Structure 1
Amino acid sequence: MQRHLRGIDLNLLVVLDVLAEDPHITNAAQKLHMSQPAVSNALTRLRGIFNDDLYVKTRGGMRPTPKALELKQPIRDALFAIQQQVQPEAEFDPKTASNTFAIAANEYAESIVFPAFFQYLEQVAPNICFDLHPEADSIASLTERIRLKELDIAIDYIQPKSKELICEHVFEEDLVVMARKGNPYITDEIMTAEIYRSTPHVALHPRSDKGSPTEIILGKKQIQRDIKIRASSLMSLPAIAARTNCLCTVPRRVAANAQQTLPLETYELPFETNKIKAYMIYHRDKRNNQAHSWLRGQINMLLDKLRQSGS
Structure 2
Amino acid sequence: MKIDFNSLVILNAVVESGSVSIAAQRLSISPSSVTYAINKLRRLTDNPIFTRSKTGVKPTTLAHELNTRYKKTVLMINEGLGIEGENHESDVSKTITISTYTYIELWISLMTLKKESVINNGILNFITHPGTNDERLMKLRNREVDIDIGAQLPNDPSIVSYRLFSSPFKVMVSKAHSSIKDTLSVDEWSKNQHIEWNRINSETSSMMGDAQIIEEMMVRKTHITSDSSLNMMMMCANSDSLMLIPEYFCCCIDELLPVKFFDIPFVNSMEASLYVHAHTTSLKDASVGGFLNVIRNYNC
Please give the TM-score of this superposition, normalised by the length of structure 2: 0.57
Residue pair 1:170, 1:300 contacting (<8 A) in 2 also = no
The answer for the alignment partner of 2:189 in structure 1 is 196
Cα distance in 2, alignment partners of residues 145 and 244 from structure 1:
37
Q: Secondary structure at the match of 1:299?
A: helix
Please give the TM-score of this superposition, normalised by the length of structure 1: 0.56
Residue pair 2:173, 2:243 contacting (<8 A) in 1 also = yes
Residue pair 1:238, 1:248 contacting (<8 A) in 2 also = yes
Relative to structure 2, which stretch is displaced further, 142-151 or 164-173?
A: 164-173
Give the CA deviation at 1:269.
Answer: 1.9
Structure 2 gap segments, 5+ residues each: 1-38, 45-88
Which of 103, 106, 124 matches 2:101? 106
Structure 1 residue identity aligned to 2:210: K
1:249 and 2:244 correspond: yes
The answer for the alignment partner of 1:277 in structure 2 is 273
Which of 123, 129, 134 matches 1:135? 129
Summarize the Cα distance change of 1:279–1:29 in structure 2 as closer, same or farther, 3 Å threshold.
same
Cα distance in 2, alignment partners of residues 255 and 29 from structure 1:
48
Which of 269, 294, 297 matches 1:301? 294
Q: Secondary structure at the match of 1:235?
A: helix
The answer for the alignment partner of 2:141 in structure 1 is 147
Cα distance in 1, alignment partners of residues 96 and 251 from structure 2:
29
1:115 and 2:110 correspond: yes
Q: Secondary structure at the match of 1:160?
A: coil
Structure 1 residue identity aligned to 2:291: Q
Relative to structure 2, which stretch is displaced further, 229-238 or 146-155?
A: 229-238
Summarize the Cα distance change of 1:95–1:171 in structure 2 as closer, same or farther, 3 Å threshold.
farther
State the Cα deviation string for residues 28-68 of structure 1 (Å, max 9, x = none): 999658xxxxxxxxxxxxxxxxxxxxxxxxxxxxxxxxxxx
Summarize the Cα distance change of 1:118–1:163 in structure 2 as closer, same or farther, 3 Å threshold.
farther
Q: Secondary structure at the match of 1:172?
A: strand
Summarize the Cα distance change of 1:189–1:98 in structure 2 as closer, same or farther, 3 Å threshold.
closer
- For this pair of structures, how many residues does the alignment match? 212
The answer for the alignment partner of 2:63 in structure 1 is none
Structure showing greater radius of gyration is 1
Q: Secondary structure at the match of 1:144?
A: helix
State the Cα deviation string for residues 131-170 of structure 1 (Å, max 9, x = none): 2112112100011111111111111123233332221112
Cα distance in 1, alignment partners of residues 252 and 42 from structure 2:
49
Structure 1 residue identity aligned to 2:96: F
Alignment of 1:63-212 (within 5 A): 98-117=93-112, 119-121=114-116, 125-126=120-121, 128-181=122-175, 183=177, 186=180, 189-206=182-199, 211-212=201-202
Residue pair 2:137, 2:153 contacting (<8 A) in 1 also = no
Q: Secondary structure at the match of 1:137?
A: coil
RMSD, aligned CA: 3.7
Residue pair 1:172, 1:276 contacting (<8 A) in 2 also = yes
Cα distance in 2, alignment partners of residues 124 and 234 from structure 1:
24
Summarize the Cα distance change of 1:300–1:175 in structure 2 as closer, same or farther, 3 Å threshold.
farther
Residue pair 2:95, 2:125 contacting (<8 A) in 1 also = yes
Residue pair 1:117, 1:302 contacting (<8 A) in 2 also = no
Q: Secondary structure at the match of 2:228?
A: coil
State the Cα deviation string for residues 264-304 of structure 1 (Å, max 9, x = none): 332122244444211111123444x242xx52343233332
Give the CA deviation at 1:254.
Answer: 4.4
Alignment of 1:25-64 (within 5 A): 32=43
Structure 2 residue identity aligned to 1:259: D
State the Cα deviation string for residues 232-259 of structure 1 (Å, max 9, x = none): 4212323323443321122446446443
Cα distance in 2, alignment partners of residues 163 and 32 from structure 1:
22
Summarize the Cα distance change of 1:236–1:217 in structure 2 as closer, same or farther, 3 Å threshold.
farther
